[in-house]
């Protein structure tokens, strides 16, 4: 136990009082009194020597101050500050523990350190506070010792003597309590370890036998499970094939139902209008009747053509997924030219939303591949950005970048600062018919076809990264020289291979 001898007191006439205080607290520590009882004794004795103050001891637990003792402070106040996190502007105690130095606030109501906490102190007539860190022998902070005043004022000479003695005594009591707690825990752990060892020694053979029986049983269960797994693997493959087929059929039915249904309605309406016109022919026929009939026929024919065109477009998308495409012309071409070409294709749509386009590609970045297939992929990615991401942005930006990865491959990145994709949807974006706008003109096939073309004819890989509300980037990694199929039926010749 370190010494707490009083030296250099400012009020020598009160030194005897402080010595009595020291002796009483050290006696409580020596007899092993509980920490909170010892700290409570310390506070009460200081308050007896200085009736114009109320004392508080807070214990530092990590970055939080916990109640230690405050016999004369209202419980509502001590409960309110119990567990407060220390910081640069956390009253007197929280700031003192944070700075590692004494903090004296003479006017709580107007001091910025108390701006967030004065509403807790002022209702209890706590108008000034002086808090000092309690330090361990190694210099670390154990807590704070504080004097509260019921009036706006600073500390007196005797108060400073009392705080100096009290912080030393509190440090002794706290360190002794922690040593006792650590020793008690060590003894408890030792006793518990001994008990566990004795128990293990007494039951080791029984436990080994039980574990052996359990292991045999688990091995038998594992063997049965493995056999069951082998039997069901074939069934699972068939179920997945049927599920994919069902989803494909449902998607085709949904995509074709709307335009064909519209076409049927228009055809029926047109037939009805023709019947009405034929009925008019039996009597006097006015020019206005002919004009109305012609206008109705022209409008119905236009709408009918649109519905049929939509159906034809959907069939074309399905064909891109399900049918092998004829190999496009292979050529050596500059990637920068392809990026520029794609940006020009979408120039009207990009201008309509005032989108900034950024192209980054070295002029000497050359591919020996299929330019038409790459254009198809890039168009699908840009179209997806225009449909799902960019329109919602006030300042939309589309980037088309290409870079060298190594001597054999390059990477093309198509990015936007749009709405982004939810994390739950990222794993499904390349699935056929997956779209969040199925009823708004999107077939959900664009990214699926792009995926198939990249993995097939172009011989590369494709991945997507997205953060909601920040944007999406699709990375296409391609070999500088596309794979050359050995025969037309090989996987490399299929731009739409699954």
By mean pLDDT, which of 176-185, 236-245, 258-267 is the weakest?
A: 236-245
**Given this model, what pLDDT does residue 18 score?**
83
**Given this model, what pLDDT does residue 278 score?**
78
CATH class name, domain 12-183: alpha beta
**Given this model, what pLDDT does residue 221 score?**
87
d(CA 260, CA 268): 12
By mean pLDDT, which of 5-9, 56-60, 223-227, 387-391 is the weakest?
A: 5-9
**Given this model, what pLDDT does residue 497 score?**
37
How far from 273 is each of 64, 199, 287, CA to CA, in Å?
83, 97, 16
The CB density around residue 318, as the number of other CB atoms within 10 Å, is: 19
**Given this model, what pLDDT does residue 277 score?**
73
Task: Considering only residues 43 and 193, tell me which one the structure prediction assigns the higher pLDDT.
Answer: 43
pLDDT tens digits along 408-434: 999 999 999 988 888 888 888 888 777
By mean pLDDT, which of 288-297, 313-322, 344-353, 440-449 is the weakest?
A: 313-322
Q: Compute the mean pLDDT over every residue in the chain, rounded to the nearest whole number.
A: 82
Reply yes or no on whether the pLDDT at 325 is more than 70: no
Task: List the chain domain ranges.
Answer: 12-183, 331-493
CATH class name, domain 331-493: alpha beta
Work out the average pLDDT over 473-477: 95
Examine domains 12-183 and 331-493 and report if their fold is the same: no
pLDDT band per the 50, 70, 90 thresholds, residue 57? very high
Reply yes or no on whether the pLDDT at 281 is more than 50: yes
Could you tell me which residues come within 8 angstroms of residue 340 by beta carbon, excluding any fewer than 6 positions away?
359
**Given this model, what pLDDT does residue 113 score?**
95
pTM of the model: 0.40
**Given this model, what pLDDT does residue 495 score?**
42
Work out the average pLDDT over 95-120: 94
Task: Considering only residues 168 and 290, tell me which one the structure prediction assigns the higher pLDDT.
Answer: 168
């Amino acid at each position: 136990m370190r010494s707490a001898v009083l030296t250099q007191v400012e009020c020598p006439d009160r030194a005897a009082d402080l010595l009595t205080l020291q002796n009483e607290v050290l006696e409580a520590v020596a007899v092993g009194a509980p920490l909170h009882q010892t700290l409570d004794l310390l506070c009460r004795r200081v308050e007896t020597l200085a009736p114009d103050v109320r004392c508080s001891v807070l214990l530092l637990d990590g970055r939080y101050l916990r109640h230690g003792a405050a016999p004369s402070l209202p419980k509502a106040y001590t409960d309110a500050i119990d567990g407060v996190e220390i910081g640069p502007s956390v009253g007197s105690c929280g700031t003192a523990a944070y700075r590692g130095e004494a903090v004296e606030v003479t006017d709580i109501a107007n001091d910025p350190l108390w701006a967030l906490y004065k509403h807790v102190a002022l209702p209890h007539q706590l108008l000034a506070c002086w808090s000092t860190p309690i330090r361990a022998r190694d210099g670390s902070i154990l807590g704070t010792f504080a004097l509260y005043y019921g009036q706006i004022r600073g500390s007196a000479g005797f108060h400073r003597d009392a705080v100096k003695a009290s912080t030393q005594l509190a440090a002794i009591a706290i360190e002794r309590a922690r040593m006792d707690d650590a020793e008690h825990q060590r003894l408890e752990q030792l006793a518990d370890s001994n008990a566990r060892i004795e128990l293990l020694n007494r039951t080791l053979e029984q436990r080994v036998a039980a574990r052996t029986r359990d292991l045999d049983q688990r091995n038998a269960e594992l063997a049965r499970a493995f056999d069951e797994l082998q039997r069901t693997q074939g069934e699972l493959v068939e179920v997945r094939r049927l599920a994919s087929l069902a989803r494909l059929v449902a998607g085709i039915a949904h995509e074709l139902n709307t335009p064909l249904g519209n076409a049927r309605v228009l055809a029926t309406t047109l037939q009805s209008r023709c019947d009405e016109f034929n009925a008019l022919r039996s009597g006097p026929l006015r020019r206005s009747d002919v004009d109305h009939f012609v206008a109705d026929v022209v409008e119905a024919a236009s709408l009918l053509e649109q519905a049929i065109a939509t159906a034809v477009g959907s069939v074309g998308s399905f064909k891109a997924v399900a049918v092998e495409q004829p190999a496009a012309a292979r050529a050596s071409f500059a990637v920068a030219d392809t990026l520029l070409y794609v940006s020009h294709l979408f120039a009207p749509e990009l201008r309509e939303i005032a989108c900034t386009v950024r192209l980054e590609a070295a002029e000497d970045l050359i591919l020996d591949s299929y330019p038409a297939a790459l254009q198809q992929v890039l168009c699908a990615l840009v179209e997806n950005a225009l449909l799902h991401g960019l329109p919602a942005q006030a300042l939309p930006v589309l980037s088309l970048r290409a870079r060298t990865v190594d001597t054999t491959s390059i990477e093309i990145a198509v990015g936007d600062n749009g709405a982004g994709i939810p994390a739950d949807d990222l794993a499904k974006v390349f699935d056929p018919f997956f779209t969040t706008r199925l009823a708004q003109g999107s077939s959900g096939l664009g990214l699926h076809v792009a995926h198939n073309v990249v993995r097939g004819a172009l011989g590369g890989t494709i991945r997507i990264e997205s953060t909601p509300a920040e944007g999406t980037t699709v990375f296409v990694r391609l070999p500088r020289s596309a794979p050359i199929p050995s025969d037309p039926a090989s996987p490399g010749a299929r731009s739409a291979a699954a």
